[in-house]
Structure 1
Amino acid sequence: MSQTMIIRLLKTSIVLGLCLIVTGHTLIVSSYFTVNHGIKGIIIAAACIAVGVLLSLPTKIYLTVLLMEAEKRYLKNHKSTHSK
């Protein structure tokens, strides 16, 4: 799999994770959902938040590492062109 495809997949994972976090928060805040479903509703909302965090955080770390490597390569190339 190419690096562009991996980055696109990770960005999609981040967006999906953030959507799940917002959905879980909305479900917990809405009194209609928690009153009708009781403790199971709270568990469902908490599960949405947990899956959202699992999807979003590791991908952010990976993308940060990729960006740091790209910046390091850029600075190395930029420094070598100006030193000549």
Structure 2
Amino acid sequence: MKSGIHPNYREVCFVDLSNSQQFVIRSCVNTRESIKLDDGRELPLYKLDTSSESHPFYTGTQKSVDNMGGRVEKFRNRYARTAK
């Protein structure tokens, strides 16, 4: 195998900014900050806007908006009066 081409996998702490949920997984993401965990470990920190803990699809709070027809149907309804 070639040396120097493989990513540097290490434990990284990801923090969901919307609900402050933390989780640690192995990653090769580049970080500038670090965080000290409750168990005394200091790990690189990566901040997320949303994760599976806060995303509406995964939490079950997603709302489906039912459109009344598609684009073609809207066009036909809008210009049906002028065609006659």
Instruction: Work out which structure has the larger RCO, using CA pairs closer than 8 Å and 6 or more positions apart in sequence.
Output: 1
Query: What TM-score do the two structures reach when normalised by structure 2?
Result: 0.30
Q: Which has more radius of gyration?
A: 2
Which structure: greater strand fraction?
A: 2
Which structure: greater helix fraction?
A: 1
